[in-house]
Structure 1
Amino acid sequence: MSRRSRIIGCGAYLPSNAVSNQELARRVDTSDEWIVQRTGIRNRHLAAEGELTSDLAVAAARRALEHAGIEASAIDCIVLATTTPDNTFPATAVKVQAALGMTTGFAFDVQAVCAGFIFALSVADNFIRSGQATRALVIGAETFSRLLDWEDRSTCVLFGDGAGAVVLEAFDGTGAAGERGVLSTHLHSDGRQYDLLYVDGGPSSTRSTGHVRMSGQEVFRHAVTRLSEVVEEALVANKLEPSAIDWLVPHQANQRIIDGIARKLRLPADKVVLTVDHHGNTSAASIPLALAEAVGDGRIKRGDLILMEGIGGGLTWGSALVRW
């Protein structure tokens, strides 16, 4: 027997302001047809004035705790994945900790952009496996709209705001692939691709926030290759065939990328959790948002094998296999 972690609850939050492609077309030179054809996105949610990343994170965390049936006082650590913190420092996670009334344990942020949730999940899983935590709250939360250049149609139409969270709990298991829990996580980065997707500002460089800049075609090319590799890595590590996967819960960046990965796995469309059409790309929040939606509507059931994967600026990418 070995100490492992399993997901016992999940939750999500989206700002109330839903913005359609048609609305964006009134602000920037684009069209619903152009956006849908290239990305699959039809709507996204944007945070209200004064609504912070921590606000979104707290709302998602509370729903995850409620779903798990535990109080915040039972949590040992919070790992918050975000590219859009409330402030340069302290970590947004400590604001979430205070808002939840959690006065013990520890909280910190992880920054891996769109792969952030997978990185945060891996960190929390390893804390539990090592015995440093018994229960962990893993959150992906973004107000990505605050980083957008609203005159750049190649980027401003892609992103949205939101938050998702899961609660991990320790248990003693065998590590068998058929057992509930986080089976494995796999992380990678390649700093040589730094300039493919980045924000042109920061405290050390420009003393400003900056805007998202992206080489779309190059990011697309790397995404298909790297995600295929890291998906295969997860399957090989667990001695599983693609046919064993019940659900693909991918980072929701672009429907064409998602479709490409599903084809490589020979997964039918009805086994892919797709939210990019109504959420847009919510960066670190996209995987837990999609997971919470599929759990909430009953698609994901106890015992299902879930493959999560994502790629983001850095480049960073990763995957996780979880038995629900």
Structure 2
Amino acid sequence: MTTTEQRQGFTLVKLTGPDLKATFMDLGATLLSLEVRDKTGNWQDVVLGYESLEDYEKHQGYLGTVVGRTANRIRKGQFTLDGRQYQLPVNNGPNCNHGGVKGFSFRKFDVTSFTDDSVTFTIHSPAGEEGYPGTLDAAVTYRLEGPKLVIEYEAATDSQTLVNLTNHTYFNLDGHASSIGSHRLQLASDEFGHVDKDGLFTGTRQKVEGTAFDFRQPRYVRDALESGDPQIETATGLDHPFFLTRSQDAARLISDSTGIEMRVSTSLPACQIYSANYLGGQPGKDHLPMNRQTGICIETGYAPDDINIEKENSRTIVKKGEPWKAWTAFEFDTAYESK
């Protein structure tokens, strides 16, 4: 079932199924809440969010938003395409992050269609917006499929440009803002990427074996956060790209407290794992502060700064007549004990 409402100048859309209940907002095509049954049959909202809808305009946390045109950091906000250099806004240290000052996360999308189990948001980005070449039209569809939330992305341009869309939801399967270190994480990844002191992917890839980044088997997130690994210290936690070895069940997150398990599948080759290192106690749901490392983002996409690392071979380059498409699915184990 799908319902819509207007609240505080925003359009909200709620999808309700037997296994999941999800609420979205037009600003940033944001996932506001996602409710899942825990092991006792109670509904738990497993994503962090602000106390007030207006806070999504004020803060830079990107909670639940669609990030674009390009996710993550681009070195000095600069890239070259067709022999021409482009300059994006520098909004994160010396770099451009998450599409710029007024990226997709801070723009209202249009609610263009919905069904009993899906909603589609669209956005028009004119040539030159935030410094990007080419006009871009993008669509994001959220769909419930039983215990699964599927996100489908599409984008098309009238001139060569960059696209690397993702969703920036902070998950906490305990159902509230609490230490993410108590969650277990598993990743189908043999390699992770190094970052510098500004959080920029350097292009260096390292085997996870023998490091704090080895999540090939389920491990508590705190084991990495408390490891003292130089890369953990540099990023003040996890904020690194992992390169995936498969698309199905590429990531897995587990809460021992609620018994909820989430499995992530995607058509994209990498995911940025971010342990909410820069949340600073902003007011969240139920008036609880969202402190650092009280959530975790699994941002599927292409490698950060791919245009400057792979240059003309970057898969973030999109050409006229060649639409960009991708999908990511979050599937929950909703089996629970009878009361």
TM-score (norm 1): 0.28
TM-score (norm 2): 0.27
* Greater percentage in strand: 2
